[in-house]
Structure 1
Amino acid sequence: MRRVLILFFLGLAGCASLAPVDPSFRSFAEVAERVEPVARAECLDKDPSRNCDFQVQVDLDPDQPPNAFQTVDRKGRPVVIFTASMIQSFRNRDEMAFVMSHEVAHHILGHLDKQRRNAMQGAVFLGELVSLEGGTAEEIANAQYVGAVVGARSYSKSFELEADAMGTVITHLAGYRPSIGVRFFEEIPDPGDSFLGTHPANPDRILVVTETIRKFQLN
């Protein structure tokens, strides 16, 4: 069974959970305590009816590759999950805050909901198209699957860039330097600009961040 560390926040649970001995985890917990209240405030400001009670979790499985992503639990509570190897890959707290702010921005901007709608629309469209052409039940099912994948990925790159821009602002409001955090993109593999890729090229992401810093006169 995979071990998961849940980070609670002073403003929510009355105490902060103890992080593992590795100092990078302690730093991560401290960053989370500063980023979460800012993310919650930004989330409620954008949509007061939205569940903005963020929870940050750490996947302690040492075999999991570096990764961070945002999801929601069964009650609709936004959850941001980092693998242990991801946390250990950060060189400073600014990078931690930047990536965390990017992930919470996905929820604030409603990207998961939009992605699901895009996937459903893609599945329906391609499925109906194959059905009208007289496709078999299996062919229609395959078309729906392909349509869902294409639909889900159609705007994924723009979602990432939107989250980069908002995450830049959240990083600054939490007291960290997005100008340092953005250097994280210089250390990770560049996915390029492949067709139906899920992430934009690193130079494009760096450009969005630097333009946001300049626009709002951040640091």
Structure 2
Amino acid sequence: MRKAQIIRALFVPVLLALAACDVPVPTSTPPSQPSQTTEEIPADVRAAARRFVTVADRVEPVAEAACRAQAPDLNCDYNIVVDDRADAPINAFQMVDDKGRPVIAVTVPMIAYVQNDDEMAFILSHEAAHHIARHLDRRRESTRAGALIFASAAARGGASGAALDTAARLGAVLGSRVYAKDYELEADAIGARIARDAGYNAINGARYFERSPDPGNRFLGTHPPNANRVEAVRRALR
């Protein structure tokens, strides 16, 4: 079964009752809630759900093709799912399941927050790009290296026990963040081309950042300034 079919199958409950969709989520699912009829769900929420299904249906095969072309040794069989936790923030993220399959998860608040198809396409393409660029593996390696470097330095200084553990944890945090902003910019660039090839306007999609809080250029921040991200998209499409 291809992803387009999987998305539709998983999203049927969303179209009927977003508060009780039956899809895989990365953390524990809250207790079941009473189902809603279609009439009880606001029209704008139903429209957002339909937008998500339509855009995901178009973006997934293009992202898969890009993945197979740029990283043929990876599992490129994307599974796009909905994180329907009631307390989920406006967010989208990429992970890999226990079988190595790439998963793109989008929260219900994010689906409701985007303003048009271009924004939705850019967000999905950006997350697909993280997998193509192997950012999870690269971050894991950087995290491990940071922990080892700090723990080794602490040990040479005579640290042991809890002090050694603290040094390793600090090194792990720093290691995980040292390239975080670069990874986001790289995913923006690759994602912009995926969105474009799927038939969407990636420049318009990147206008999402105009409505997002700007993280600024913080030392060891996890995300780059919004202006830098928009520029990365523009450069990628020139």
The answer, yes or no, to whether TM exceeds 0.5 is yes
Matches within 5 A, 1:62-211: 62-211=86-235
Q: Detail structure 1 runs of 4+ shifted over 6 Å in the superposition.
A: none
- The CA deviation string for residues 134-184 of structure 1, in whole angstroms up to 9 with x for no partner, is 002111111010101100100000000000000100000011111210100
SS state at 2:93 partner: strand
Distance 2:129 2:3 in 1: 19
TM-score by length of 1: 0.90
Root mean square deviation of aligned Cα: 1.4
Q: CA deviation at 1:44?
A: 0.8
Aligned residues: 205
Distance 1:47 1:105 in 2: 11
Distance 2:144 2:159 in 1: 19
Distance 2:220 2:140 in 1: 16
2:48 is the alignment partner of 1:48: no
Whether the 8 Å CA contact 2:75–2:102 is kept in 1: the answer is yes
Whether the 8 Å CA contact 1:51–1:77 is kept in 2: the answer is yes
Partner of 1:3: none
Whether the 8 Å CA contact 1:105–1:163 is kept in 2: the answer is yes
- The CA deviation string for residues 82-133 of structure 1, in whole angstroms up to 9 with x for no partner, is 1100110000010000011000000000000000000000000000000010
Q: CA deviation at 1:49?
A: 1.8
TM-score by length of 2: 0.83
Q: CA deviation at 1:26?
A: 1.1
Distance 1:42 1:163 in 2: 13
AA of the residue aligned to 1:209: V
Whether the 8 Å CA contact 1:62–1:85 is kept in 2: the answer is no
What is the aligned-residue identity percentage?
44
SS state at 1:23 partner: helix
Whether the 8 Å CA contact 1:153–1:198 is kept in 2: the answer is yes
Distance 2:72 2:119 in 1: 29
AA of the residue aligned to 1:16: R
Greater alpha carbon shift after TM alignment, 72-81 vs 18-27: 18-27
Whether the 8 Å CA contact 1:116–1:152 is kept in 2: the answer is yes
Question: Which of 16, 20, 38 lines up with 2:8 in the alignment?
Answer: 16
AA of the residue aligned to 1:180: N
Distance 1:82 1:172 in 2: 20
Whether the 8 Å CA contact 2:92–2:106 is kept in 1: the answer is yes
